[in-house]
Chains A and B, each alone.
Chain A
């Protein structure tokens, strides 16, 4: 990423004094019950997480037994098509999922930090409303996709900051709150007078910047970005993402970045997980994913978006469309669309298997050897003229 937003740097370094925000305290959350192991550097630990939409017979599994892990100040990217369950997963973890979503199983623990050798961890799934409220925004904040609908249309932008600060930092005076809002706006390159405007008076890019500034108000440890730039034009998109990562470099928050644009993630994220039809199909570091994707779906996604840099390659899509979650295919969910599908894939669903010697996992029969050793199989990215009629991948035999 290039540092196009030089002005942000300048402003932040020279004008504004260090954060006007007094140090955080942990509020009503006492040290939680003892956990099996300290979380240490890990701030988010999600295991066996499942989410349904609906109840009883009509329930549809939107997220199936997913694990996620995120370390302090790292960026986790979650990629997948619409309906893959990526947003559902993240909203459910923070208990913000709307009806008819129901969490069916799993746990999600968030590490608030260590205070005098006592580690404060909140069990998000079992937390009470009060506990959640104290953690929300002060430790975990969200940037939604469409800023126009995410901001209250009848109040001025400034009052949004006011409300948040008033709710969480009762020790701050009105003057201090205003100063903090001004500082935040400066961080994203906006002038103070934007605070007195209404959301509909601002441009799309300005609104999204306000959203980012709002998300950073309480200096959270984790910022969740739900397709933050999809609604913007490409130029603004790049600007904002650039500014975002500047801010991250400066303040050190961790990020979960949800998007369908995998190529974006390969540049920005530290680790990427790919979801398909509610299940996690591959997990790897960004570089590994980009260079050697293991799951055919991942490969398909990579080939669907033009890469930002590097050589040009032929664009292709993935034939077919995502399955109806109420009627999943037998065996592997992806097999009807997979050019590498084997007989086994139709009957048995592959488990998520860690590739020995690496820190990556993949759920694909192609990658699982017979003798209990996962053999990484190279999926070729080079398109050649001798392709199968579907014109997507090149056949590779393990």
Chain B
């Protein structure tokens, strides 16, 4: 397996920092919230102030507290959904890619069907049939979301497994006589790690979107605070048209930031997998300083004449005449 170098790309570092911040928020949010998010005793529709950092809702609740508390449910459900979906896609994808034959046919068909089914509408249908008390169960919602999000990862993992299967080191294990399952886990799986990581990030991203959207429509329990529910209440109370931006902007921005950090991390992994994408090379300014044109242009190899250095040898005899 290739050695792991800590990524130096600024995109990735920013991604890690932002995501880290929100993970901390997920863990410590509810403890840091100054007020109970359900507390309606404050004056309604207050703009942000020192007392209420994000202002208050139409019902008199503190938005800042809601945002902090909401981090937990949002990220936990997304995390669960992402993990379950990625595990599913790994099992199905690797099995299909490695075992081939009818197993592959069947599993691929299943993946393709799930891939073609539109995710959110299916989620809505399933969720609307759920009895109300189930809707507050994060686990249940997470599981349902993962049902719609595993297919893409499975397809990618299957393709990668198939290409790995034919590689020499796998063949030699097989020849030695190792059992197929063992080969799958000890030889093939480690090489799938970058793609698995990317798949995980992508599914978490998708899950956050799905969860928040479900909450926005009102399909999740309103007793559990999450960022989507905040947006639901904001919309229900006509916040956009009343100009109460402080109600829906904080949760939205939080979602966007978490999503962006996940996407940035994905970039890092992309560059790791495909070395051609790595930034490598100099910036425009550095190039200018070296005397090259700002950008490398195909078909126009740059010319940078070096300072004349002393020749390496001192004696010359019959130098080449033209």
Contact = CB atoms under 8 A, between A and B. Distances in A.
Interface of A: 47, 50, 52, 55-56, 67, 91-92, 95-105, 125-126, 129, 132, 348-354, 356, 361, 368, 372-374
Contacts of B292: 102
Given A55-B282, A105-B305, A349-B312, A129 B299 contact: yes
Contacts of B317: 351, 353, 368, 372, 374
Contacts of B296: 99
A348 B318 contact: no
Given A50-B306, A132-B300, A353-B319, 7 more contacts: A98-B301, A100-B281, A101-B301, A125-B303, A129-B297, A351-B317, A353-B317
Contacts, number: 72
B313 A348 contact: yes
10 contacts: A47-B322, A50-B306, A52-B306, A92-B301, A99-B296, A102-B302, A132-B300, A354-B318, A354-B320, A356-B318
Given A96-B299, A125-B303, A56 B318 contact: no
A47 B321 CA distance: 11
A105 B320 contact: no
Contacts of B281: 99-100
A105 B306 contact: yes
Given A351-B313, A351-B316, A353-B320, A104 B300 contact: no
B304 interface: yes
B318 A353 contact: yes
B248 to A, nearest CB: 46
Interface of B: 281-282, 290, 292, 296-306, 312-322
Contacts of A67: 320, 322
Contact of B320 (A95, A101, A103, A352): A352
A372 B306 CA distance: 31
A351 B319 contact: yes
A343 B179 CA distance: 59
Contact of A104 (B306, B316, B318, B320): B306
6 closest Cβ pairs, A-B complex: A97-B301, A103-B303, A99-B296, A95-B301, A104-B306, A372-B317
A98 B303 contact: no
B173 to A, nearest CB: 30
Contacts of A350: 313
Nearest to A61: B306
Q: Which of B282, B297, B303, B321 has the most CB of A within 10 A?
A: B303
Nearest to A65: B311
Contacts of B282: 55
A350 B290 CA distance: 31
A104 B317 CA distance: 26
B205 to A, nearest CB: 32
Given A100-B281, A349-B312, A95 B299 contact: yes
A50 to B, nearest CB: 8
A219 to B, nearest CB: 22
Nearest to A59: B306
B318 A372 contact: yes
Q: Which of A126, A349, A351 has the most CB of B within 10 A?
A: A351
A96 B296 CA distance: 12
A96 B306 contact: no
A308 B300 CA distance: 39
A294 to B, nearest CB: 14
Contact of B305 (A104, A351, A372): A104
A56 B299 contact: no
A63 B303 CA distance: 14
B162 to A, nearest CB: 21
A47 B319 CA distance: 14
A91 B300 CA distance: 11
Contact of B290 (A55, A98, A352, A368): A55
A372 B301 CA distance: 39
A374 B318 contact: yes
Contacts of A353: 317-320
B320 A126 contact: no
Contacts of B315: 348
Contacts of A129: 297, 299-300
A345 to B, nearest CB: 12
Contacts of A125: 303
A126 B302 CA distance: 10
B120 to A, nearest CB: 34
Contacts of B312: 349
A341 to B, nearest CB: 16
Nearest to B296: A99
A373 to B, nearest CB: 8
